[in-house]
Every structure is written in C-alpha cells, then in structure tokens.
Chain A
Amino acid sequence: MNSKLRLLVFLTPMLLFIGLGGFLLTGLFSDPTELDSALIGKPVPNFELPDLYNPDRTHTQSIIGGKPMLINVWATWCPTCYQEHSFLNELLATKDIYIIGLNYKDDSRAAAMNWLQDLGDPYQINLFDFSGLLALDLGVYGAPETFVVDSKGIIRYRHVGDLNARVWREKVGPVYYSLFDQ
C-alpha cells in the first residue's frame, strides 16, 4: 500500500507534466489569427449601405436570406483578395453560388469598380461600406473574410482568409450545402 502511494506521489507530477506538455504542443499548431466569430448563430446585423455601382441606390438587411448565401468581405488594398478573386469567379461560373460582395473601406468607389471590371464580378449584389460600419457590426478584422448565411439570414460560419478550392472542399462548402437540407 505504502509503495503504491509513493508511486502515485511520484507519478502525479509526471502525468501533469505530460498533460500540460501535450496541451502546449497543440498550441504550437493552432493559428492565433483565426478567431471564432461571436456572431455564429445570430442574424446578420441591420444595415443601410449604398450600392457600389450606383450611389443613389441603398440596400438594407432585407437582401439577406431567402436562400443560403455567402457574404464576401473584400477591398482593392488587400492582396489576398486579389488571389481569392479568381476562385470566386469560378464559384459563380461552375457552382452558381449566390455571393454578396461587401467592399470594405476601399480607397475609392472608382478603384473598386475598376477592379470588378478588370477581374470580373462574382457578386450578385455589391455593397459599398466606405466607413466600415457593417464590417464593424460583423466583427470583421481583416480582409478577405467570408460569412455563410442560411435562408433565414442567420450567420452559420465565418472563414477568415482567402477562399480557395481546398478551403471550399473542406470547410466552407460542406457548411453551405448542409443549409439546403434543412
């Protein structure tokens, strides 16, 4: 009995150490820039933003919902958005995905319009968020970011960083398609 107790006394710190070591080891491989969105399960915040092409036209939250869709946050000052853009075009062309573009604090309306003209416009609706109002309410902290929204307008997933074939196949696509089964 006594020797068992001694063994326990000496093994406990060892086990604690291994546990702590394992916990810290997983920390090495986690990406600290990937934050959970506080808005998962919550509706897209109310907004009132002008159209990118037409300053006189205003969009509100009524454009959200009705069917599963993506909201893609982008800007011309964002190099990763440039990388991402051809994949967004592909999503529209091959899979007919409904994407709303949220132009986030861009240098100018003209710069954003030129970009879409040159690279193609994968967005069904283009929102122009010059002061970052909606982006702030969405908790956007960088571009690109993509939100997956269900037909009731509830945010189901947020991806930070560029969308590409791998991210679509492994993360965003499955969430998006699961929304059609409900």
Chain B
Amino acid sequence: MRILAFVLSILVSISILGAVQAQGEFYAFETAAQERLYNKLSKELRCPKCQNQSISDSDAPLAEDMRKKVHEMVLAGASYNEVVDFMKARYGDFVHYRPPVNASTIILWVGPLLVALIGMLFIFGLVRGQKKGDVVLTADEEAKLAAALNKHSQKGSN
C-alpha cells in the first residue's frame, strides 16, 4: 500500500511537471482548424538539433524558433504542404517524420513487404517440396516394413 502511494505520488508530480512545462509557451489561433494543423505539424516536424524529438517535444531554442515559424505560417493561412515544403527546403527531407518515397528511401517502404514476401515464398516452396512425389521403396525396404508392421500388429492383438 505504501509503495502504491509512493508510485502514485511520483506519477502525479511528473504529470504536474509536464503540465507546467507545456504552459511555458502559449500560441493563440483564430480557428480550431488552425490549432489542429499547428498541433499536427509540430508533432510531425523533427528538430534537427535534438534528433529523435519532434519540435513539439523539444526544448532546444531551434525547435522553439521552428514552432514560432510554423505558428506564424499557419496564422497567415499556409496549408499543411506549404509548411512542410518550407521546412524541407531549409532542413532537407530529414526534418519531416514521414520520409518521401524516392530512390534513397524506397528500401524503407518496400523492404518489410519484400522480406515478408520472400519468407512466404520460402515456406510455400518448403511445403510444396514435402508433398511432391510418392516414396518408392526398394524390395529390401518393403520386406523390413512388412516385418515391422507384422510385429506391431501381433503385439496389438495380445
């Protein structure tokens, strides 16, 4: 019980900390659609400085600048594509968490599919190989088989 209370208090304090951090920056929007677009963009754009964090996640000054720019553009009526293209023109494809399909990223997109396909073909081939052709026994093997079966049926009848 005591441990549970301890864990709970830690969880609560973490969530309060998170809320306080999120309040550090406040952006006003004219419409709900703009706010949705801003939220979507700030989660999909990657901070080039602190890699593996989106700009909404990151506390780096650069991420703050980028959030400011995205907010500015969204307020000015920019579309999703316009903002993404703006950032890509400056920071490269890297800045967007959805890599485009092109020569250098094609392996990302079709790789898993290809591996699954190869695996399925392999298994399919194995199964087919097992079924193929009846086993033909030599006369010697036939005799051994008959003897073994004979022994077995005698045992069974006892």
Contacts and interface: CB of A to CB of B under 8 A. Distances in A.
Contacts of B69: 136
Interface string B45-79: 00011010000000001100110010000000000
B90 A39 contact: yes
A29 B62 CA distance: 26
Interface in A117-176: 132, 136-139, 141-142
B90 A139 contact: yes
B40 interface: no
Interface residues of B, number: 17
- Chain A contact surface mostly: loop
Contacts of B94: 35
A33 interface: yes
A35 B48 CA distance: 8
A38 B51 contact: no
B139 interface: no
B49 A35 contact: no
Contacts of A38: 88-93
Interface of A: 9, 32-33, 35-39, 105, 132, 136-139, 141-142
